[in-house]
Structure 1
Amino acid sequence: MHENDISFLIRKASFAIHTALGPGLLESVYETLLGHELRRAGLEVKTQVALPVLYDGLRLENGFRMDLLIENKVVVELKSVEVLLEVHHMQLLTYLKLSGHKLGLLINFNVPAIKTGIFRKVNGL
C-alpha cells in the first residue's frame, strides 16, 4: 500500500474518533483509539516505537519514541494541546529523517475541527 493511501485511512480514522469524542482527552487515549481503528481497517500498527539516535559513535537505543508507525511506512505523531508549536512540527521531521520514512502526520486532537489539526510532513516522498 502506498503512503498516500495509508495517510487517507489515518485521516479517516482520526475524523471518526474526533467526531465521536471531540477534543480534550489525553494524547494516550487518542493513541489507543487511533491504533484500534487502524487495526480494524486491516493495517499493521506499532505504538511507541523506539527510534535510536546515532552521534559521534554513540548509539542511544531509545533516543526518541514515535507514537505510531503504520504499515512500517507512515509515522504519526499525536498531540492534544491548545497550540501546536514549531518544535512539534520539527519533532516529526526529525523522526522522519532519523527513521528514513518518507511520510508523517502530525495530528492535534485538541481542536474544534480535526481538519485544522492534521499536518502532513514529507521526507523525500
Structure 2
Amino acid sequence: KIYSRAVCVELTAAGIRFEREKRYPVRYRGVLLCEQHLDFVVGDQIVLEIKSIDQLAPVHHAQILNYMRVARLRAGLLMNFNVVVLPDGMSRKVL
C-alpha cells in the first residue's frame, strides 16, 4: 500500500499522531466475532480509510461509517487516491 506509506510520511512530517492498521474487536452479545482493521486512526479522533479505486461506491461509505462506530469515533475521512485532484477523492463523515 504505497499510498498508506505516503500518508504515514505526511502525518509524521506534520507532527500529527496516528496509528496505522489499528485493530478493534467486534463483539456480539459479549462474544468476540472478529477484529476490524482500520487503515489509520489519526489523533485518537479520526478514522482515515485509504482507497485507490475508479470510483467510491456506497459500500465504501458504509464501510467507513461502520469503522467509525466500531472505534467509537465521530469523525472519518475516506480518501480515494485514484483521482486527478486529491480533494475530489475525499469524503468527510460525521456520526
Q: Which TM-score band (shorter chain)?
A: over 0.9
Give the superposition deviation at 1:61: 4.9
Q: Distance in 2 between matches of 1:71 and 1:83?
A: 27
Q: Distance in 2 between matches of 1:35 and 1:45?
A: 8
Aligned match for 2:58, one of 86, 97, 104? 86
Give the superposition deviation at 1:57: 2.4
Q: CA RMSD in A?
A: 1.1
Q: Distance in 2 between matches of 1:122 and 1:102?
A: 5
Matched, 1:111 2:83: yes
Q: Distance in 2 between matches of 1:118 and 1:58?
A: 35
Residue in 2 aligned with 1:51?
A: 24
Residue in 2 aligned with 1:70?
A: 42
Deviations 1:38-72 (A, max 9, x none): 1111111110011211112211352x111011111
Q: Distance in 1 between matches of 2:33 and 2:20?
A: 19
Q: Which amino acid aligns with 2:15?
A: G
Residue in 2 aligned with 1:13?
A: none
- Structure 2 length as normaliser, TM-score? 0.93
Deviations 1:65-108 (A, max 9, x none): 11011111111000000111100000000011111101000000
Residue in 1 aligned with 2:72?
A: 100
Structure 1 residue runs without a partner (length 5+): 1-27
Give the match's secondary structure for 1:81: coil
Q: Which amino acid aligns with 2:58?
A: E
Matched ranges for 1:7-46 at <5 A? 28-46=1-19
Q: Which amino acid aligns with 1:115?
A: P
Q: Distance in 2 between matches of 1:44 and 1:34?
A: 12
